[in-house]
Amino acid sequence: LAAARGAGRGALTLAQRHLLVTLEVTSKDKSYPWVLQWLTQQAAPLPASGGGGGLLSRLFGGGGGGALRQHVSVETVVERLANGKVETRFEFLPCPGRHVLRYNGSLLMVERQREQQTVDFQTGQPWESVRLTALGRSPTLFSDLLAEAQAHADSKRELTTTVFSNWGTEWRPFGQPRRRRPLASVVLDQGIAEHILNDVTEFVDSQEWYVSRGIPYRRGYLLHGPPGSGKSSFVAALAGHLGYDICVLNLAEPGLTDDRLSHALTHAPAGSLVLLEDVDSAFQKDRDP
């Protein structure tokens, strides 16, 4: 009997190694909220026409999905609209535990885990992970799933710009995402905005040229003028026009060293414009000309 049990466990281990593929996404990874939002979308109730469906309805082809929607955790989202009004909504996520869904013709076992005794020291939130398991040996299914989850997340933030501030060794979102500002709403001298926009567009399209020649792929612009002349407003409008976020770093900040500045510039979030404020503070005023 013991030999049979050992053989069964060995067969199960062999099957897991060679017949199943597994993807683990931790709460530290940038794609973690994307995956949770994607699962929320899959768990949405069926429309009256019978199309789409929740997780269990996708599995059984019926109009249910109620079992998943009965065991959920809530995430409260507070957003400030462009008119200043604060809007609150509740997003229901699959609670910790195991769930099953059918995706692209394959069955997926979804296991959300939450460590009660381990927390993220930066956010204070419990350490979490989502483990996805499917039959097969190719991770292509997970690549498609992550791409779809990213596209879903991008569609929700398509018309907003996120402003990041530097905290120690990392960049963190500062406040709620802001509605994108039209480039035409910033008034500058004739031709300046168009010249910078054309130059930035050419630079964005020339990444391969820089990489093939071993040239650092970066570009900077010095915007000068008295306070209130539209420098920061133009950066916000330019970021919104390009679909970029903004990373704000004040060079006059106490405790900003050369090493920290270099680290911040190197680890800025992808798809962001870095706005260095008070650049003149980086130069010694009593230095000989």
pLDDT of residue 67: 44
* HEC secondary structure over the chain: CHHHHHHHHHHHHHHHHHHEEEEEEECCCCCHHHHHHHHHHHCCCCCCCCCCCCHHHHHHCCCCCHHHHCCEEEEEEEEECCCCCEEEEEEEEECCEEEEEEECCEEEEEEEEEEEEEECCCCCCEEEEEEEEEECCCCHHHHHHHHHHHHHHHHHCCCEECEEEEECCEEEECCCCEECCCHHHCCCCCCHHHHHHHHHHHHHCCHHHHHHCCCCCCCCCCCCCCCCCCHHHHHHHHHHHHCCEEEEEECCCCCCCHHHHHHHHHCCCCCEEEEEECHHHHCCCCCCC
Whether 263 shows a pLDDT value over 70: the answer reads: yes
Q: pLDDT tens digits for 211-252?
A: 999 998 888 999 888 888 888 899 999 999 998 999 999 888
> What pLDDT is attached to residue 280?
77
Residue 54 confidence (pLDDT) above 70: no
The position carrying tokens 């929607």 is: 69
Average pLDDT taken over every residue of the chain: 79
Lowest-confidence region among 67-81, 94-108, 191-205: 67-81
* Triad 24, 29, 32: Cα angle to 5°: 70
Question: Is a pLDDT exceeding 60 seen at residue 278?
Answer: yes
| CA dist., res. 206 & res. 213, Å (int) | 11
Determine the pLDDT at residue 213.
92
| pLDDT value of position 284 | 60
**At residue 264, what are phi and psi to the nearest 5 degrees?**
-65, -40
**Cα-atom radius of gyration of the chain, to the nearest Å?**
25
Q: What is the pLDDT of residue 209?
A: 92
Per residue in 70-103, pLDDT (tens digit) is 667 787 877 766 556 777 878 777 778 888 888 8
pLDDT tens profile 114-135: 887 776 666 667 788 999 988 8
- Which amino acid appears at position 214 of this protein? G
Q: Which two tokens stand for residue 264?
A: 């911040």
More confident position, 110 or 121 = 110
What percent of the chain is predicted at pLDDT more than 70? 76
Structure-token match 């500002």, residue found: 181
pLDDT at 52: 45
**Taking Cα atoms as reference points, which of 15, 32, 31, 40 lies closest to residue 99?**
40
pLDDT (0 to 100) of residue 3: 65
Between the ranges 9-23, 247-261, 271-285, where is the mean pLDDT highest?
A: 247-261
